[in-house]
Amino acid sequence: VKGPELDRSKSIATPRKTTWDANTAVSEVVPYLYVKNGLEYYEVSDGTYLLCVDNKGVLTSCTLKDGAGSTDMIDLVIPEKVGNTKVTGIASDCFSDDDMNQRVRTLTIEDNSISIINDGAFKGWKKLQKAYIGNSVSKIGASAFEGCESLIDVTFNTPLGGHDSFTIGTDAFKT
């Protein structure tokens, strides 16, 4: 579905909101495409949170959907694709929704998606218990999971580039 980001009153456009809970016979999500400052953005929702990528595949935001339960724990998935756009990276301010960050219980970075977890990307996610790192990740930045005091299970898939090309930054998993 393609439409405006906002309506005339600067509220979230109705067609955009309707895709957040929509599904089809072939997909559990319906991607929404809008243009902002000349760039195309694709957005999908799992019913609890919204993921948005730009046309270069950079995950630009991950926020709670309006009306999401206020205390429900979240199992967050960074997918291989949002709509037809391959997810290639994460913007530095992607996870700026502190309310959501403190409710993530599990994090899955799907295979064949991002290659780098930036410095401090998931720092301080106090409720995060498990993380699955997909095969495309070749670098975990400094302090990426620092302060994730509940993190007790991290599973790594074999990196596509092999173990010799895989790096973990200083204090990446310091709790």
pLDDT in tens, 122-167: 999 999 999 999 999 999 999 999 999 999 999 999 999 888 989 9
Tokens of 87: 């997810």
Distance CA 138, CA 131 (A): 15
The residues near 89 (Cβ < 8 Å, ≥ 6 apart) are: 57, 58, 59, 114, 115, 116
User: Using an 8 Å Cβ cutoff, are 133 and 154 in contact?
Assistant: yes
pLDDT value at residue 69: 62
Determine if the pTM surpasses 0.75. yes
pLDDT value at residue 52: 92
pLDDT value at residue 67: 66
CA distances from 83 to 28, 32, 107, 109, 170 (A): 11, 8, 20, 16, 34
Which residues of the chain are modeled with pLDDT < 50? none
Q: 85-118 burial, b for 16+ CB within 10 Å, e for fewer?
A: bebbbbbeebbeeeebbebbebbbbbeebbebbb
Task: Give the side-chain half-sphere CA count within 13 A for 78.
Answer: 34
Helix (H, G, I), strand (E, B) or coil at 6: strand
